[in-house]
Amino acid sequence: MNLPPGFRFFPTDEELVVHFLQRKASLLPCHPDVIPDLDLYLYDPWDLPGKALGEGRQWYFYSRKTQQRVTSNGYWGSMEIDEPIFTSSTHKKVGIKKYFTFYLGNSKTNWIMQEYSLPDSSSSSKRSSKRSGRGSTSSSHKTDYSKWVICRVYEQNCSEEEDDDGTELSCLDEVFLSLDDLDEVSLP
């Protein structure tokens, strides 16, 4: 799971879906094979370092798609945000990104999960072609779009959160706001 020195893992949404998830669903090898399989629901988010591919403060792994996103100490609640993922060249829809936040009991935490899945239309069109006999039965690999997802988990910093009115503060805004506090400090 370790990358050679000097290499970083910062894939785009399209790269995660096209170069990793589609290959995993098609049972094709991924080169380099750096994203591990992990049953997310056995671990709380702070247990991921050392188990998932970590890059900075983000962890990546394959997991089985499920409706139950419960761990021993909490659960992943939907943020009701689904974003389609399109290819940059043909603008074809290749995946869906869903957002979840981790809850300890009823308390929301700063842990965020982005779950990448393949579009259901690909899965249903494959199933319908197999049912109608048009699908190739001599294929050396099956495509299983419904079972796999890629998860990206990270802890959101307080400075990344939105202000009360829904607008984000830039780093410069935060610096200027902190300078306002200096007016209250008396210097000798």
Mind listing the pLDDT tens digit for each residue in 109-168? 999 999 999 987 444 444 434 444 444 444 444 555 568 999 999 999 855 444 444 444
Residue 69 confidence (pLDDT):
87
For residue 163, the 8-state DSSP code is P
Instruction: Give me the percent of the chain exceeding a pLDDT of 70.
Output: 68
Mean pLDDT over the full length of the chain: 77
pLDDT at 86 over 70: yes
pLDDT at 9 over 80: yes
Mean pLDDT of 52-75: 88
Does pTM top 0.85 for this prediction? no
Closest by alpha carbon to 113, among 35, 59, 65, 66? 59
Alpha-carbon distances of 42 from 6, 71, 80, 148, 152, rounded to whole Å: 32, 6, 23, 16, 16
Secondary structure element (H or E) that encloses residue 152, with its range: strand 148-155
- Gap between the Cα atoms of 36 and 42, Å rounded: 15
* Burial category of 102 from C-beta neighbours within 10 Å (exposed 0-12, middle 13-18, buried 19 and up): buried
- For domain 13-122+145-157, give the CATH superfamily: NAC domain (2.170.150.80)
pLDDT per residue over 47-59, tens digit each? 998 888 888 889 9
